[in-house]
Chains A and B, each alone.
Chain A
Amino acid sequence: MDKAPLIISLKTALVSTFFTFFLGIYAAKFVVNLKRGKGLLDAIFTLPMVLPPTVTGFFLLLIFGHKSLIGQLLKTFDRSIVFSWEGTVVASTVVAFPLMYRTARGAFDQMDHNIIYAARTLGLTEHHIFYKVILPNCWPGIIAGTILAFARSLGEFGATIMIAGNIPNKTQTISIAVYTAVQAGNYDLAYKWVIVIVIISFVSIAAMNLWNTKQSRIVTNKGGI
C-alpha cells in the first residue's frame, strides 16, 4: 500500500496546526481586547467553520487562483498555491482556524479577570500579563482548541480537493485517497485507509487528552494554598 497519503496527511495536519495555533491565539487576544467591532470580526473569523467546505474552497480559489492578485504574484516566482502541497496546508489552516480561535477566545473570556487586575496593580506589563498570567491559566482551553484544530486539519476534504486537487504523492491526503478508492470501486484500499485514519485520530486525541489532564492537575494544584 502506497504510504504517500499517510505522510502527506500528517505533514499537512502538523504544519497547519502549527500555524492555526498561533493565528488562533493572537486573533482571540486581538478580538477580546477590541473596544468596537467585536461582533463583526468574530463573525468573519468564525465564517470558515460555518460555511460548507466547498464554499470555503471556492473562496480560496478566488483568492489564490491563478487569476487573482496573489496567484499572479506567485506565478512570477513559478510557484502556485493551487494544485500544490502548500494548497493543502492553506485549506486545512483556514478551516481549522475558527475552532482554535473560538476555543481560545472562550478560554480568555472565562478566565477570572481579577487575577489580571491584581497583576496590573502589581505593576506587570501587558506583555508580561499575557504570557505569564493569561496563557498559563487558559492552557487547558488552548490545548482543547489545538486538539480540535489538529483533528479538523487531518479530516479536511472539501476545500482541499478544490484548491489542492487530487495529485497522488503531492496533495492526495488520506481523506482524498479514501474518496478516490471508493469512486474507483476499490473498497479494499478504502477500508485500509479508513482504519489507518481512525487509529491516528484516536491515538492523537487520547494522547492530547492525557497530557491535558496532567496539565490541569498542575494548574489547579499550583493555585492551591
Chain B
Amino acid sequence: MKKITALLLTLCVALSLFTACSKKQAQETKKAEQVKLTILAAASMTDVLTELQKDYETANQNVELTISFASSGALQTQIEQGAPADIFISAATKQMTVLKDKKLMVDDSIIQLLKNKVVLIVPANGETKITSFEDTATDKAKKVALGEPASVPAGQYAEDVFTSLNILDKVKAKAVYGENVRTVLTWIENGEADCGVVYATDAATTTKVKDICEAPVGSCKDIIYPAGIIKASKNQDASQAFLKFLQSDTATQKFEKYGFTVIKK
C-alpha cells in the first residue's frame, strides 16, 4: 500500500510540474514580440560591441542581445558544430569564407564591415629597447606573445608581417601563443612577455601597454572584418535589422571612436 501511495504521489507531482511548464510556454509565446539574438564576434570587438549592445537594446526594447566574444577560429568551429547563433562577425575573411563554402551562412547577408591594423606593443612600465618589428628577432625580445595563427586572425596577420620581413623562424622560436587577441593583450599588460602583436584597436583600450609601431605598409594583407547571418538562425529579420544598425551612422561613430575604420558601401 505504501509503495502505491508513493508512486501515486510521484505521478501527481510530475503531472503538476508538466502543466506548470506548459503554462509557462503558453505565456512565453504570448510575448512573441520579445526577440533574443545571439551574436558571435571576434574578441577584438569586445569593448565597442558591448557599448553598441546597450545602445541597440535601449532603442529596441523588445530585442535582447547575447554576445559571445572569442577568437574567430573558435567561433567558426562552434558554428560548424551547430552552435545556436544568429550573427557572426569575424576578424578575417578566412573564417567567413570557410563557413560560406560549407553553406552555413546566408550568402547575400555577408557584408564587409570594418578595417583594422596590427601593431607591435610592449608593457607600458617596462624598459624596452624594442623600436620596430625587426627588433623582435634580436635579443631585445626574449618572449613574443602572438595569437595562435591557425585560429586567431591577429596571429595570422602577425605571421604575415614577420614572413614579409624574413624573420618568421627567429620569432617563432620565442613565441608564446594565446588563444585570442585579448589574451595576448593581457600578457603584455602584465609583463609576462616582452612584446606582442595585437590590433591597434586593442592597444588603444588600455594604458598598460605602449604601441611601438604599426605593421609596415604591405607587410600583411588588408585586415577586413566581415559580418553575416548564420543560415540556421531562427531570427533572420531581427538579425538583418541588427546588421543594418551596425552600418548606421550611430554605429559608425562608435566604431571610429574605438579606432576601427568603417568600410563604406
Q: Which residues of A contact B (CB under 8 A)?
A: 65-67, 82-83, 161, 165-168, 180, 182-186
In the complex, chain A residues whose CB is within 8 Å of the CB of B74: 183
Is B148 a contact of A165 with CB atoms below 8 Å?
A: no
Question: Which one of A67, A183, A186 lies within 8 Å of B71 (CB-CB)?
Answer: A183
Judged by a CB distance under 8 angstroms, whether B160 is at the interface is no
Cα-based distance from A161 to B179 in the complex (angstroms): 10
Given A166-B148, A183-B71, A184-B150, A82 and B192 contact (CB-CB distance below 8 Å): yes
Question: Which one of A82, A168, A185, A186 lies within 8 Å of B80 (CB-CB)?
Answer: A185
Given A185-B76, A185-B77, A66 and B150 contact (CB-CB distance below 8 Å): no
Judged by a CB distance under 8 angstroms, whether B259 is at the interface is no
Judged by a CB distance under 8 angstroms, whether B84 is at the interface is no
Is B192 a contact of A184 with CB atoms below 8 Å?
A: no
Is B176 a contact of A167 with CB atoms below 8 Å?
A: yes
Number of interface residues of B (CB under 8 A): 20
Judged by a CB distance under 8 angstroms, whether B228 is at the interface is no
Judged by a CB distance under 8 angstroms, whether B175 is at the interface is yes
In the complex, chain A residues whose CB is within 8 Å of the CB of B151: 180, 183-185
Cα-based distance from A1 to B143 in the complex (angstroms): 26
In the complex, chain B residues whose CB is within 8 Å of the CB of A65: 190, 192
Is B179 a contact of A166 with CB atoms below 8 Å?
A: yes
Cα-based distance from A82 to B187 in the complex (angstroms): 11
Interface of A is mostly: loop
Is A182 a contact of B192 with CB atoms below 8 Å?
A: no
In the complex, chain B residues whose CB is within 8 Å of the CB of A82: 192
Q: What is the CB-to-nearest-CB distance from B144 to chain A, in angstroms, rounded to a whole number? A: 11
Count A/B pairs, Cβ under 8 Å: 50
In the complex, chain A residues whose CB is within 8 Å of the CB of B193: 83
Most interface-central of A183, A184, A186 (chain B CB within 10 A)? A183
Given A66-B192, A67-B190, A83-B193, A183 and B176 contact (CB-CB distance below 8 Å): no
In the complex, chain A residues whose CB is within 8 Å of the CB of B242: none
Is A166 a contact of B80 with CB atoms below 8 Å?
A: no
Is A167 a contact of B175 with CB atoms below 8 Å?
A: yes
Is B150 a contact of A180 with CB atoms below 8 Å?
A: yes
Given A183-B73, A184-B151, A67 and B191 contact (CB-CB distance below 8 Å): yes
In the complex, chain A residues whose CB is within 8 Å of the CB of B71: 183
Cα-based distance from A185 to B74 in the complex (angstroms): 8
User: What would 12 more interface pairs be, CB under 8 Å, given A165-B177, A183-B73, A185-B150?
Assistant: A65-B190, A66-B191, A165-B178, A166-B179, A167-B176, A183-B71, A183-B150, A184-B73, A184-B150, A185-B77, A185-B151, A186-B150
B87-132 CB contacts (< 8 Å) to partner A? 98
Q: What is the CB-to-nearest-CB distance from A201 to chain B, in angstroms, rounded to a whole number? A: 25
In the complex, chain B residues whose CB is within 8 Å of the CB of A182: 77
Nearest first, the 10 A-B pairs at minimum CB distance are: A184-B150, A183-B151, A184-B151, A166-B177, A165-B176, A183-B74, A83-B176, A183-B73, A185-B77, A167-B176
In the complex, chain B residues whose CB is within 8 Å of the CB of A185: 73, 76-77, 80, 98, 150-151
In the complex, chain A residues whose CB is within 8 Å of the CB of B98: 185
Enumerate 30 A-B pairs (CB-CB under 8 Å) in ascending A order. A65-B190, A66-B190, A66-B192, A67-B191, A82-B192, A83-B143, A83-B192, A166-B148, A166-B177, A166-B179, A167-B175, A167-B177, A180-B150, A180-B151, A180-B177, A182-B77, A183-B71, A183-B73, A183-B74, A183-B77, A183-B148, A184-B73, A184-B150, A185-B73, A185-B76, A185-B77, A185-B98, A185-B150, A185-B151, A186-B150
Cα-based distance from A60 to B150 in the complex (angstroms): 28
B50-78: CB near A (< 8 Å → 1, else 0) gives 00000000000000000000010110110
Q: What is the CB-to-nearest-CB distance from B192 to chain A, in angstroms, rounded to a whole number? A: 6
